[in-house]
Structure 1
Amino acid sequence: MDKSLTIYVLSDSIGETGELLSRAALSQFNSGRYEVRRFPFITAEEQIMEIFEEAKNEPSVIIYTIVIEKLKNFITFKGHEFNIPTVDLMTPALNAIESVLDYQPKRESGLIRRLDENYFRKVEAVEFAVKYDDGKDPRGIKKSDVVLVGISRTSKTPLSMYLAHKNFKVANVPLVPEVPAPNELFQKDNKRIIGLIANSAKLNEIRQERLKALGLGNNANYANIDRINLELEYSREIMDKLGCIVIDVSYKAIEETAGLIIEHMKRNFGEKVFQ
């Protein structure tokens, strides 16, 4: 006769790990009526007690991924009291890691969930940078944490992507003499605007390489030194009107410029630099 079993999965997070392991273990048994019940976000002894009151009425096993010492001990105690097997998934791994690192774990619940949330914020920031790259939509200026302004080839796009991986929502706006700067720029907190410049010789070199990559001659107006100087003069006028910080990126790596921007944001908005 097939036997039945219910596995109760308790977690201080969402309980996916405990459920996956439970189902993996059950797959090793060919017959029987098995059920896995997941109970996420366990934070109190009262919740655990309710689960044991339910579990005592049927063949059951308690599997848990809880790191708070008080709750772990309560589960162990109640398991003995009700004669229900309990399986602690986290402690053996934590003990093994602690023995190598030689310091104790944090034992804070929900840390992996916070990491997941951080991941999704990063993805959102990257999508934002792509959507509002190169002045595609000036509405992004209002929504952004940081706005980068400068003429072509002053590292606006790579900086936007780098800062996005630091969870900043970045819009970047190209400054072109023939195109008026968007009004949204002048409505933005100027401490959130970063002006990027570079010396004309460096820009000339970069633009010539860009033209070669596109299969174009290097005599195009785009790489003309007088044209570059005109664009730089115009960009400085706009940056002066904005009253924003200006960074010369001529000989700076992306990481170095990004570090300066992050420090600027922290000075002005503290550690919590997001809108």
Structure 2
Amino acid sequence: MKQENLVIYVLSDSIGETGEQVAKAGISQFNIEDYEIRRFPFITEKSQIEEIMIEAKEEKAVIVFTMVVEDLRNLLIEAAGKANIPVIDIMTPIINSMGSAIGMSPRREPGLIRRLDEKYFKKVEAIEFAVKYDDGKDPRGLKKADIVLVGISRTSKTPLSMYLAHKNLKVANVPLVPEVNPPKELFEVNPKKIIGLTTNPLKLIEIRQERLKALGLKHEANYASMERILAEIDYAEKIMKKVNCPVIDVSCKAVEESASIILEIFKEIGYKFNNGVSKY
């Protein structure tokens, strides 16, 4: 037997996307070609429910809903029962089963999944930013960054940039090399969002020698010599003093520890991050 002219109302205290997708998935399992889905998002008042019930009864509609606010859910079920309208509660069975399984009570706040999605996309954006403006690739990113890291080679600039990106912060980093002048943009950004990274020369020799070994090069290369490293550190210190930024010694610190120190520095000086934009 074919069901013709089926009308499905999707009610939600958020945008109703979940309810609509579930309704479409359900209806696809039946031999119904002529149907209509109408979405009613952001239901927050009893009067809205009452008005929708009148229309639903006239159209002999089926109601699918994803109300997580308990008072509204109970109102809807009661009103639908009085009007003899079939209702399908999508969220409650899932929430109750999960609550029993994990031993927690639900928050019952509408729109949480959308907020989580927004957070995810901000993280992706921050990671893409860190990759794009890593190692001084494009100095134009310095003015867009929440945090700018500067330091000589092998002072954890890239790992720190990526770690902080996972906290939704846009980080650019600039290598300081004696033979290359820093980009002019470095001296144009707010110095309070710049962090200098330094390290112990002896520790740096070990790290650079391991790097050379991995590349199949000799340990005696200038890159890993004490004379070269001291020259680089001296040059970097002069640049850091010029921009007047805080300096962190990353010698014996894990990336997580260095990142925590950086965030604490910003907290102490009152530098705030607001949706990826740093400000005072």
Q: TM-score, normalised by structure 1?
A: 0.92
Following superposition of structure 1 onto structure 2, how do residues 117-132 of structure 1 map, counting pairs within 5 Å?
117-132=118-133
Identity of aligned residues (%): 61
Question: How many residues matched?
Answer: 275
Partner of 2:214: 213
State the alpha-carbon separation in 1 of the partners of residues 254 and 22 from structure 2: 46
* Amino acid aligned to 1:112: I
Q: Which moved more, 1:87-96 or 1:110-119?
A: 87-96
- Alignment deviations for residues 114-160 of structure 1 (CA, whole Å, 9 cap, x no partner): 10000010011001101111111111111110000000110000110
Partner of 2:12: 11
Partner of 1:139: 140
1:270–1:44 CA distance, 2 compared to 1 (3 A): farther
- Alpha-carbon contact 1:149-1:195 (below 8 Å) kept: yes
1:180–1:27 CA distance, 2 compared to 1 (3 A): same
* Amino acid aligned to 2:44: T
Following superposition of structure 1 onto structure 2, how do residues 25-44 of structure 1 map, counting pairs within 5 Å?
25-31=26-32, 33-44=34-45
Partner of 1:95: 96
Three-state SS of the structure 2 residue aligned to 1:269 is coil
Shift of 1:180: 1.5
1:10–1:267 CA distance, 2 compared to 1 (3 A): farther
State the alpha-carbon separation in 2 of the partners of residues 85 and 266 from structure 1: 54
* Amino acid aligned to 2:34: R
Shift of 1:26: 1.9
Partner of 2:181: 180
State the alpha-carbon separation in 1 of the partners of residues 187 and 23 from structure 2: 58
State the alpha-carbon separation in 1 of the partners of residues 271 and 53 from structure 2: 46
1:270–1:13 CA distance, 2 compared to 1 (3 A): farther
Following superposition of structure 1 onto structure 2, how do residues 157-236 of structure 1 map, counting pairs within 5 Å?
157-236=158-237
- Alpha-carbon contact 2:146-2:273 (below 8 Å) kept: no
* Amino acid aligned to 2:248: I
Q: Which moved more, 1:23-32 or 1:149-158?
A: 23-32
- Alpha-carbon contact 1:266-1:272 (below 8 Å) kept: no
Q: TM-score, normalised by structure 2?
A: 0.90
Q: Which moved more, 1:217-226 or 1:227-236?
A: 217-226
* Amino acid aligned to 2:269: N
* Amino acid aligned to 2:201: S
Q: Where does structure 1 lack aligned partners over 5 or more consecutive residues?
A: none
Partner of 2:150: 149
* Amino acid aligned to 1:65: T
